[in-house]
Structure 1
Amino acid sequence: MKKVALLFGIFCLTIGATNAQTFRGLDKTPMDMAYYPDDYAHDRKFAPAKIGNDKAMVRIIYNRPAKNGREIFGKLVPYDKVWRAGANEAPEIKFYQDVTIGGKKIPAGSYALLTIPTEKDWTIIISSDVDQWGAYSYNPALDVARVTVPVQKAETPLENFSIQFAKKDAKTTTMYMGWDTTVVAVPISL
C-alpha cells in the first residue's frame, strides 16, 4: 500500500510539473510610462478634484536601456540613422487631443516615436506605424510629422534613457528625452 501511495504521489507531482507555467527572465530594459499632466491616470482615479475636467494631453510608453559604461551617441546609437528612442519596441506616444509639435499639427491618436540623432540636433519623427520592433521596418511614407530640435548637454549623465514632461503653461508642455550627457527638448502644445 505504501508503494502505491508513493507511486501515486510521484505521478501527481510529475503531472503538476508538466502543467506548471514558466516565465522568462526579466527584460534588461524595463518599460516605463510618462504622462502630461504628470500622474494623470493616478489622479484621475484617486484625486479627481486635482484634475477637474481636464483631459490628458500626452502619454508615452517606452523602454529604458542602461548606459552600462558604454559610449552611447555616435557609437551604440549611430548618428544620422533612425533610432527607436529607447530599446525593444519603438515607443508608443498617444495624444489625447490634437497637438502641435514644432508648428506641425498632429491629430489625436497613437503613434510611434522615432528619432534621427546627430551631434548637434535630433529629428523627431511621429510615425503612424505603431507596434514595430525597433526602427528596422521604418517607412518614411508613414511619417505624420518631423521636427528638428537642438541637442543640449545634461549637467549630470543619465544612466538610463529617460523621457519626462515639464509644464510650460496651461496649454504647453516640453517632452525631454535624455541619455548619458545628451538631452533634447520637444515643445508640445494644444
Structure 2
Amino acid sequence: MKKIIFVLTSVIASYVLNAQVKTPAPSPHCTLTQVVGLTDVTVDYSRPSAKGRPVFGDLVPFGKLWRTGANLNSTVSFSEDVVINGTTLKKGKYAIFTTPKADMWEVIFYTDTDNWGTPENWDVNKAAVMTNVDPIALNNNVETFTIGINNITNDSATLDISWEKTMVSVKFTVPTNKAAMASIEKTLAGPTAGDYFSAAQYFYNSNGDMAKALEYVNKAIALNKQESVPFWHLRQKSLIQAKLGDKAGAIETAKLSLAAAEKAKNADYVKMNTDSIKEWSKK
C-alpha cells in the first residue's frame, strides 16, 4: 500500500511540475513582415489594449520617454539602408521609442533592442535616428495598440503608430532604384566566373557532358586576370582534362594550379596537385 501511495504521489508531483496553465496574454505578441520595394521590413511588438482607460496624457504621460508598446522593446528591422527625414538609417534592427506630446512626437530608432521597457541608462549615441512628427487625430477609436507599415510605394512607406484616437506616421524611403539597377546590370552583364565554375563543377561531379564542363571552366578562367586565376579553377580544369583522356593537358594545368596553390600557401591543393601529376605521369 505504501508503494502505491508513493507511486501515485510521484506521478501527481511530476504532473504538477510539468503542467503549464495557458491564459491569454494581456498584451499579445505580434510580428509583421512587409516588403517595400526590394526591402524587407519586420516589426515585432506587443499590443496592449486601452480597456476603458484614457491613454495619451494619462496611461502614457506626455513629455516622457515611452517604450511604445508593452513588454520587450517594440522593434523594426530593415534589410537595406533606409532614409528617414533626410538621415540614413543603416540596415539592421532597432528598438522604437517615442516621447509623445499633445502637439508633437519624437520618434527614436535605438540600436539597443534588449530592454524590458525603456533603457535604464539612456545612451544618446545609440539613438541612430531621432525625428519629430505631428500627431494625427483619428475619427475612429483604436482600442488595441497598433504598429503598421502603410502607404507603400516602390520607393517608400510609412511606419504608423496608432492607439486610442491618435496616430503618428514616420515616412521612410528605400533604395529600390539602386538595388534594381544593380540587379539589372549584373544580370545583363552575363554569367560571372563563379557561375561558369559552378556549372563546370556540376558537370564534372555528376559525370555529365565533359566537353561542356571544359567549355565552362575555360570561360571561368578567361574571365579572371591571367595572373590571378584561382588555383581551384585550374585544379578543376585539370580534373576535367584527365577525365576526357587528355593527361598531358591535365598535367600542364595541374602544374599551374600547383604553382598558384604554393603561392597562396594552400597545403591541401599543393598535395592534391602533386599527387595528380604523379598519377597522370605514369605510363
TM-score interval (norm. to shorter) = 0.7 to 0.9
Structure 1 distance, partners of 2:17, 2:102, is 53
The one of 99, 107, 121 equivalent to 1:116 is 99
Check whether the contact 1:35–1:56 (CA below 8 A) recurs between aligned residues.
no
Q: Partner residue of 2:48?
A: 65
Q: Cα offset for 1:57? A: 3.0
The one of 144, 149, 152 equivalent to 2:133 is 149
Q: Partner residue of 1:167?
A: 151
Which protein shows a greater Rg? 2
Deviations 1:116-151 (A, max 9, x none): 111112111011111111114233231101011111
SS in 2 for 1:13: helix
Structure 2 distance, partners of 1:180, 1:105, is 31
Quick one: which amino acid aligns to residue 14 of structure 1? I
Q: Partner residue of 1:32?
A: 30
Q: Cα offset for 1:154? A: 1.2
Structure 2 distance, partners of 1:150, 1:11, is 63
Aligned length: 173
Deviates more, 1:119-128 or 1:132-141: 132-141
Check whether the contact 1:79–1:117 (CA below 8 A) recurs between aligned residues.
yes
SS in 2 for 1:73: coil
Structure 2 distance, partners of 1:11, 1:18, is 11
Structure 1 distance, partners of 2:18, 2:34, is 41
Q: Partner residue of 2:71?
A: 88
Q: Cα offset for 1:88? A: 1.4
How large is the RMSD of aligned CA atoms in angstroms? 2.1
SS in 2 for 1:14: helix
The one of 87, 90, 104 equivalent to 1:104 is 87
Segments of structure 2 that go 5 or more residues without pairing to the other structure are 175-283
Deviates more, 1:13-22 or 1:126-135: 13-22
Is the helix fraction higher in 1 or 2?
2
Structure 2 distance, partners of 1:145, 1:104, is 7
Q: Cα offset for 1:18? A: 5.3
| Residue 96 to residue 10, structure 1, CA distance change in 2 (3 Å) | same
Structure 1 distance, partners of 2:6, 2:116, is 47
Q: Cα offset for 1:7? A: 3.2
Structure 1 distance, partners of 2:82, 2:95, is 15
Deviations 1:90-135 (A, max 9, x none): 2111111100111110010111110011111211101111111111
Q: Partner residue of 2:248?
A: none
SS in 2 for 1:62: strand
Structure with larger RCO (C-alpha < 8 A, sep 6+): 1
Segments of structure 1 that go 5 or more residues without pairing to the other structure are 39-53
Structure 2 distance, partners of 1:19, 1:76, is 37
* Percent identity of paired positions between Structure 1 and Structure 2: 25
Deviates more, 1:167-176 or 1:117-126: 167-176
Q: TM-score, normalised by structure 2?
A: 0.56
Q: Partner residue of 1:48?
A: none
Structure 1 distance, partners of 2:147, 2:18, is 38
